[in-house]
Every structure is written in structure tokens, then in C-alpha cells.
Amino acid sequence: MQLFVALEVPAEVRENLASLLQSFRAVSPQIRWVRPENLHVTLKFIGEVPQTKLAEIRSALASVRSAQSVTLDFRGLGFFPNEKRPRVFWTGIAASANLKTLAADIDGATERLDIPREQRPFSPHLTLARFDPPRLPETLRAPIRENAARDFGSLRASQFHLIESKLKPSGAEYTTVESFSFAAAEA
């Protein structure tokens, strides 16, 4: 089973991004756009693991704690690695400092189970599309520029989720395996 750990995106943010994606899809339908229901903030990509390891992973994730919830503001648009050779199109995230710590703690908890640590520095973002080949169509340049500084909403999270990804002909399908409270919910 293929697994990852993520924060759920709130409905308001999802709806704002769904509207944006719909307008972008209309001008460039050939791009691999992420379906709005699949939007999430990845904290740790675990990858393919045997079902027999699931209980250990659950136990490791249940031990992760933070003194407070994390806050995220979704705004702006960008590319990995850059606009000249884009592979990933994303909306940025301005987050509380403890988001990076939370991701590192999850990475450490799973490393003890022989799941490799992330090699790249944690860079919070929401993937909106993937480019293959890495080329930005001319039809998208102006709409992206017009929305480059747009604010899509915010999130305060005290839970993260272990999610299973199944690849289907219609695209990836995500199922939440378990949710973990890492901080006391704040009123």
C-alpha cells in the first residue's frame, strides 16, 4: 500500500482553488491538474509499504505531539523547480514555525521504522498541477500572473492524517486510513 501523511485542506480553501483550477483547465486542458478533492498539504511521503507494517506506522504517528496547533495561510502561485522548467505548479503556504517542526517530528518517527528521511528540505505547498514535459503553455502565463498574489484562505490544524493513495485510470484516489491529534484543539 502507498501511504503519505498530510493536513486536510478546509472547504473554503478547496472551493477557492477549485474555481481557479476550473478557469486554468479551460485554457490548458492538457495539463495534469489535481482534482480539488485531492488537495492536501503533504507532511511526509512514506511510499509503498506492506500492509503488515501499518500497525507500526500508526503507533509511530500516534506519538507525535506539538504544544500548539499549526496555522497556514494559502496564497500566491509558483513552480518547482522554476517557471522556465516547471514540473510542479503550486500555491504557497505561509505557516506557523511549528509546521516545519511537525513535519520533522513525523519524519523522525517514521525513520525509526526504516522509512527513509526526506532528502529535500520541507517546503510547504499545495500541488495544483504537474507538467510533463516541464513546459509552461503560453495560454497559462497571463492567468497565472493575474492570480500570482491571490489569497485562498487559511487553516488552523490540530490533526494530521495517514492517507492511502491508489492509482486508478481516472487518477489517484485517496482514502484516510487514520487521523491523529497532535495538539489540543483550540477554541
Catalytic amino acids? Answer: 40, 125
All three cell numbers of 89? 505548479
Q: Is the link from the previous residue into 124 a cis peptide, with omega within 30 of 0?
A: no
Residue written as grid cell 511526509: 44
Strand order from edge to edge, sheet including 159-168: 40-48, 2-8, 159-168, 171-181
Of 163, 186, 159, the closest CA to residue 62 belongs to: 159
Assess contact for 131 and 85: CB atoms under 8 A: no
